[in-house]
């Protein structure tokens, strides 16, 4: 029996994800590098290919790996993040959506103020992200998230990673928020006002506008009642 073999256990899938991450680390792979195929990993661990694929899907949910149709599996963009999304998320509920918004209310107004206080913040990607409020889900620029770019505008990589990780951890809640707060024109206007305050270096206004924007989102979720 190979020393790499992982015996069946209730936490097998979890252990497999850790083992795959260990391979990525041990082989010095980085974002964009190909990793062994599911079949190769199954042979290495002496386990079924479907079980390996389940573990890979969990890693895909965190952004640690990504699938490319017809090409294979590659190291994803979040592999070096200090915080990875939890692939074992609890079911989505109204309370979990509100908790995400409340967490963002604690964090994001201060981020907007920090971005406004920064000398010559890089606003190019943030300005581009503003247009996403007018783009239907699935549009070509939909993945460019305004709030991630807002964090990036602080110039602090850890702040950007914090927001990126939080939204990734609660991606289903974030998708629910976008469905419930579906006034893209209003979203666009609120985002635009935040960017203008940052451009003007007005930290207080940027903070207040971001807080108000998130409060509007919270009210929309509250008005929706229990989620189906």
101-131 pLDDT, tens digit per residue, is 999 999 999 999 999 999 877 788 898 888 7
Q: How far apart are CA 113 and CA 60, in angstroms?
A: 33
Q: What is the DSSP letter of 139?
A: -
Domain 12-75 has CATH 3.40.50.720: no
Task: Report pLDDT digits (tens) over 149-196.
Answer: 999 999 999 999 899 888 877 777 777 887 787 778 888 899 999 999
Angle at 163 (CA atoms; ends 108, 202), nearest 5 degrees = 30
Q: What is the DSSP letter of 136?
A: P
Determine the pLDDT at residue 138.
47
Residue among 180, 65, 188, 173 at smallest CA distance from 130: 188
Residue among 187, 197, 123, 191 at smallest CA distance from 154: 123
Residue 212 has pLDDT above 90, yes or no: yes
CA–centroid distance for 224 within its chain? 24
The full length of the chain comes to 228
Residue 9 has pLDDT above 60, yes or no: no
Residue among 79, 87, 99 at smallest CA distance from 161: 79
Residue among 212, 218, 221, 216 at smallest CA distance from 112: 212
- What confidence tier does 135 reach under pLDDT thresholds 50, 70, 90? low
For domain 94-224, give the fold.
1.20.120
Determine the pLDDT at residue 182.
75
Q: How far apart are CA 13 and CA 190, in angstroms?
A: 43
Determine the pLDDT at residue 227.
67
> What is the domain partition of the chain in residue ranges?
12-75, 94-224
Determine the pLDDT at residue 139.
45
CA–centroid distance for 46 within its chain? 33
Determine the pLDDT at residue 136.
60
What the block records as the tokens of 39 is 């079949």
Look at residue 105 and give its three-state secondary structure: helix
Rg value, the chain, Cα: 20
Determine the pLDDT at residue 228.
56
| Contact by Cβ (8 Å): 28, 64 | no
Query: Which contacts of 136-141 are long-range, i.e. CB under 8 A and separated by 24 or more positions?
Result: 136/184, 137/178
């Amino acid at each position: 029996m190979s020393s790499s073999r992982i015996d069946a256990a209730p936490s097998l899938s979890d252990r497999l994800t850790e083992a795959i991450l260990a391979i990525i680390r041990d082989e010095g792979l980085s974002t964009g590098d190909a990793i062994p195929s599911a079949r190769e990993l199954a042979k290495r661990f002496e386990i079924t290919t479907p079980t390996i694929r389940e573990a890979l899907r969990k890693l895909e949910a965190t952004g640690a790996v990504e699938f490319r149709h017809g090409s294979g599996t590659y190291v994803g963009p979040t592999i070096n993040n200090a915080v990875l999304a939890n692939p074992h998320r609890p079911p989505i509920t109204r309370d979990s959506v509100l908790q995400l918004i409340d967490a963002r209310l604690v964090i994001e107004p201060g981020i907007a103020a920090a971005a406004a206080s920064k000398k010559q913040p890089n606003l190019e990607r943030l300005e581009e992200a503003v247009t996403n409020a007018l783009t239907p889900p699935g549009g070509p620029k939909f993945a460019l998230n305004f709030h991630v770019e807002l964090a990036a505008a602080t110039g602090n990589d850890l702040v950007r990673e914090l927001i990126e990780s939080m939204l990734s951890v609660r991606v289903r809640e974030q998708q629910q928020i976008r469905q419930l707060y579906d006034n893209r024109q209003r979203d666009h206007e609120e985002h635009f006002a935040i960017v203008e305050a940052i451009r003007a270096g007005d930290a207080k206004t940027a903070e207040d506008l971001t807080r108000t924007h998130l409060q509007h989102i919270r009210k929309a979720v509250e008005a929706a009642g229990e989620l189906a």
